[in-house]
Structure formats: structure tokens, C-alpha cells
Amino acid sequence: MAMIVVAIVLAYFIGCISPSIMLAKAKGIDIKKEGSGNAGTTNALRVMGKKAGVITLIVDILKGVIAVLLGGLIAGSMGGMCAAVAVFCGHVWPAFYKFKGGKGVATAFGALLGIDVIMALICLLIVVIAVVISKRMSVGSILGAACFPLVAYFTHPAFIIPGSALALCIIIKHKANIVRLIHGEEPIMSIFDKSKKK
């Protein structure tokens, strides 16, 4: 039990590392006051461009992978699953940034990679298809989270309960996006916006 607690604490603080906030601060920008106000990949891409978006995505994914692998080394499979939840919580509610972080999609994906690669890749495929069709990251994130329980049931049932809790949290964090989607006001991703490429 003590080692599981160590894994949880370590994973949480790994999750608290926010590349988008750090990159924005280096440019004299408060990412939480620009664009959507979210400290995640999509807003980093929107506010600071492709390079910052890619760096944010990679670091946020690695946070999840590293936290789960360390959790597994410290306290076995249970430690890895607890670390997955903890690193997600650290990203969404970071102590370093007044408990205001991102929506957790990339970090959750990284955590899934650490737990079960097949489960993670199936969820990623769902997200990618939804994003390509809708041209909106929010649609991919919401659909991927909504499909997670079914994916976990067939690939890694031991993680279905904690994973579904994370998926529900992701959907709730997207409530503003859902409202905009219902009203047809959700903007398309900048990489699909032809007007910004002229």
C-alpha cells in the first residue's frame, strides 16, 4: 500500500508539469487568458502555432506513459493503474498552477499507452476518424472518451472502472464545447482552416 501511495504522489506531480503554460510564459503569454483558455494541445496550437502544439502534445503524452511505467515498476499493475488516474488528475488539476490545467486528453492517451497499447491505439483511431470527419478536436475527444468503456471491456477490463471515470471527466471538461457544437459555433481546428493558410 505504501508503494502505491508513492506511485500516486509521483504520478500526480508528473501530471502537474504543463508544457503549454511554460511555453506560453516564455513568450510572455498567459495561455489561460488566450483562445479557449485551456492549457492543452489544441489551444497551444491555436495561440502559439504548430511547433508549440506539437511540443505540448508530445510532452503531455509522455507524462502519461512515464507516470504509468514508473507506477508499474514501483507497485506492480495496480500501481500503474493508480498512477494513470493520478497523472490525469495532476494534468487537469495541477497544484503548480492553482489547480487549473488542461482537459487531459493527451495525458490520458499516454496513460493508456502505458497500460495497454492496443487499447490506446483503438481509442486513438476513433479520435482520429472523428477529427478528420468533423475537423474539430473536441468531437474526437468526446467520441473517444464515450467509446472508451466498450474498448476497455474487450481489451483491458481491469481498467474499465478507473478509465471510465477519466473518460467521464474528459466529457464533462468539454461541456462548453458540447454547447458550442449543439449551436453550430464550435470552430474548426486551425490546421483545417484554409482561410488561415492564405
Grid cell of 106 as nine digits: 493527451
From 86, 72, 85, select the one nearest 161 (Cα to Cα).
85
Per-residue pLDDT reduced to its tens digit, 122-173: 999 999 999 999 999 899 999 999 999 999 999 999 999 999 999 999 999 9
Rounded Cα distance, 146 and 119, in Å: 14
What is the identity of the amino acid at 170? I
Q: What is the pLDDT of residue 191?
A: 64
Q: According to DSSP H, which parts of 93-136 are helical?
A: 105-115, 117-134
pLDDT digits (tens, 9 = 90+) for 11-35: 999 999 999 889 988 888 888 888 7
Residue 47 parent element (H or E): helix 41-48
> Exposed (0-12), middle (13-18) or buried (19+): which is 97, by Cβ within 10 Å?
middle
